[in-house]
């Protein structure tokens, strides 16, 4: 697909609607998820047919959720805090796994773009600088959508243990805060059942 076709596609629009704005990060997740689904020959998962492991909490993770149907609520969207634009897609149908990792320096360094990001975050950017940022941001997004897949990612077949399906468990009351908690998330301390929130405080 051309960049224009992607930008006009329903899948892209769904990702933007879910995420809230267009950016290079959502484009990275979009391309990664499309690659994973294509290589596994899978469609969006209505239930737990797919499992996704993401190694970033950046923007791209939102596109992965939208396109794969893997979500925290279904228990088939697993987050690992590694700070990498790396995504593993696993099919329960076939047992196959694909790991898609962004190549180093795909976006290159752009001092002006970073300067504008910093100014906007700090509230120092004027209207012209905000417009310049939007233009640069849009171009970087298009660059991600246009780049050949092999230049954007390294892709490898992987063997991963089959994650268990989400478990439905009863709730119990935390003896300290009195709130209902999934029973598997309570710890016995001095004869009381304590939730993780209370354990951390």
For the stretch 153-198, pLDDT in tens is 999 999 877 777 777 778 999 999 999 999 888 999 999 999 999 9
Is domain 3-158 classified as CATH 3.30.1330.130? yes
Domain coordinates in residue numbering, the chain: 3-158, 171-200
Structure confidence at residue 65 as a pLDDT band (50, 70, 90): very high
The per-residue pLDDT for 200 is: 86
The per-residue pLDDT for 162 is: 73
DSSP collapsed to 3 states, the chain? CCHHHHHHCHHHHHHHHHHCCCCHHHHHHHHHHHHHHHHHCCCCCCCCCEEEEECCCCCHHHHHHHHHCCCCCCCCEEECCCCCCEEEEEECCCCCEEEEEECCCCCCCCHHHHHHHHHHHCCCCCHHHHHHHHHHHHHHHHHHHHCCHHHHEEEEEECCCCCCCCCCCCEEECCCCCCEEEHHHEEEECCEEEEHHHHHC
The average pLDDT across 38-57 equals: 95
**Higher-confidence residue: 125 or 59?**
59
Structure confidence at residue 144 as a pLDDT band (50, 70, 90): very high
The average pLDDT across 70-91 equals: 94
pTM recorded for the entire structure = 0.84
The average pLDDT across 77-88 equals: 96
The average pLDDT across 121-145 equals: 89
């Amino acid at each position: 697909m051309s960049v224009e076709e992607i930008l006009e596609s329903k899948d892209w629009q769904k990702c933007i609607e879910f995420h809230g704005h267009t950016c290079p990060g959502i484009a990275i997740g979009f391309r990664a998820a499309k690659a994973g689904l294509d290589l596994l020959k899978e469609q969006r998962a209505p239930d737990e047919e797919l499992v996704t492991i993401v190694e970033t909490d950046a923007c791209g993770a939102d596109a992965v959720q939208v396109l794969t149907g893997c979500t925290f609520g279904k228990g088939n969207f697993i987050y690992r805090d590694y700070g990498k634009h790396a995504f593993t897609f696993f099919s329960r149908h076939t047992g196959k796994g694909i790991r898609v990792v962004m190549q180093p320096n795909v976006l290159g360094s752009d001092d002006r773009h970073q300067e504008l990001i910093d100014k906007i975050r700090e509230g120092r950017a004027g209207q012209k600088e905000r417009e310049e940022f939007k233009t640069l941001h849009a171009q970087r997004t298009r660059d991600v959508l246009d780049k050949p897949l092999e230049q954007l990612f390294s892709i490898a077949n992987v063997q991963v243990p089959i994650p268990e399906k989400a478990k439905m468990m009863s709730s119990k009351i935390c003896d300290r805060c009195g709130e209902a908690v999934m029973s598997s998330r309570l710890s016995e301390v001095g004869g009381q059942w304590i939730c993780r929130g209370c354990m951390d405080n």
